[in-house]
Amino acid sequence: MLLAFLGLTAVRVTQLPSYPGTPQPHPYALSADGKVVIGQFAPGNAFVWRGSEIAKFKPSPDKSILDFYAQGASRDGSVIVGKAGQAYRYSRSSGFQLIGKLKGDIDSFAYDVSGDGSTVVGYSQAATQNRAFVWHKENGIKEIPSPVPDSSSIALAISRDGTAACGISSVDTSVRAYRTDFKSSELLPIGKIHTDSTANDISGDGSIIVGAASGVDSSNAVYWKGGQIYFLTNLGRKTAVAKCISEDGLFIGGYCGNDAVIWKGKEAFRLETAFPGWNFESINGIAHVGKRIYVTGWGNRRGKDVGYYAILSE
């Protein structure tokens, strides 16, 4: 079995608890230490889970703000970023802080934060396009150079060390993945049969980016390293997407068809192989700490859509 080939064994899987009066929690991200899950009950209704009870996450005390989004977390989960009126950074030690928006823009959204919580990326919204930004607690908010002049761009993930980020940019009628070191940005290559690509996550040192390359009616899970594109196995499915990567770059999470998948190198296995009775549909966050792999995402159990948190061991 592929599970045995990867040298992994199941430890446990937990169905994320529900919160009274809300839909089931849909995880978006996992802290790199594997201990904190963030996401949404429903659009604008954020949650945080730290291994016991699930809690609504409302970082701002401003009662006029009705929608709260939690999108990214620092390595230990003590800093969370997203949108609450505008892009924000929330720290358990210093509280809520609006990041602001680029000059002349009307709105902003924060997508990810560096491992130490000091650097945030996302996008600032103008009337006609989006502009990717990087914010640092010492230098404030700045525009990230677009890989294509005057094109719309969004920064979706930042490396643990805060030296690189990745995201998507518009190119004519297509959407393309790009990488940036904040001084310049470059489009990432795609296959000959593909027209679009997305960069969903980046390794801790910024050397590996994961995502997908898509064509007319299919998509391939991919990763980029050293300026080259590499195709992960789709397990025979028409659609596959790599959504997240562990800080050390060894494990990639995502989905093939309707099945949650973990990739290690060129090999992959379906997560439900490890936990019979579950139907895991996607891995949205992955962490590798010591000999353990932590994953979170969306699935189905006993005919009910649920969020989950699972642990495997090498």
Q: Which residues pair with 167 in a beta bridge?
A: 155, 178
Which value, in Å, is the radius of gyration of the alpha carbons in the chain?
18
Each residue's pLDDT expressed in tens, for the chain with a length of 314 residues? 344 456 688 999 999 999 999 999 999 999 999 999 999 999 999 999 999 899 999 999 999 999 999 999 999 999 999 999 999 999 999 999 999 999 999 999 999 999 999 999 999 998 889 999 999 988 999 999 999 988 999 999 999 999 999 999 998 889 999 999 999 999 999 988 899 999 999 999 999 999 999 998 889 999 999 999 999 999 999 999 999 999 999 999 999 999 999 999 878 989 999 998 899 999 999 999 999 999 999 999 988 999 999 999 98
CA angle 49, 311, 54 (to 5 degrees): 15
Q: Which helix (H) or strand (E) holds 51?
A: none
In Å, what is the CA distance from 59 to each residue of 46, 107, 313?
10, 18, 34
Q: Could you tell me whether strands 292-301 and 279-289 are parallel, antiparallel, or unpaired per DSSP bridges?
A: antiparallel
| pLDDT for the residue 1 | 35
Sheet holding 130-136, edge to edge: 107-113, 119-125, 130-136, 140-143
The domain limits of the chain are 2-313
DSSP code per residue over 277-314: T-EEEEEEEEEEETTEEEEEEEEEETTEEEEEEEEEE-
pTM: 0.95
| pLDDT for the residue 6 | 64
| pLDDT for the residue 265 | 85
* C-alpha–C-alpha distance, residues 122 and 111, integer Å: 5
- Judged by phi (left if over 0) then psi (alpha if -120 to 50, else beta), residue 236 lies in left
User: 120 with 109: CB under 8 angstroms?
Assistant: no
Q: Which helix (H) or strand (E) holds 235?
A: none
Residue 188 burial (CB count, 10 A): 22
266, two tokens = 């060129």
Report the CATH fold assignment for 2-313: Methylamine Dehydrogenase; Chain H (2.130.10)
User: Helix or strand or coil: residue 143?
Assistant: strand
* C-alpha–C-alpha distance, residues 210 and 224, integer Å: 6
Residue 42 burial (CB count, 10 A): 13
Q: Give the residue from 254, 164, 174, 175 showing the smallest Cα distance to 210.
A: 254
User: 267 with 299: CB under 8 angstroms?
Assistant: no
| pLDDT for the residue 289 | 97
Residue 6 burial (CB count, 10 A): 20
| pLDDT for the residue 236 | 92
Q: End-to-end CA distance of the chain, in Å?
A: 15
DSSP state of 229: E
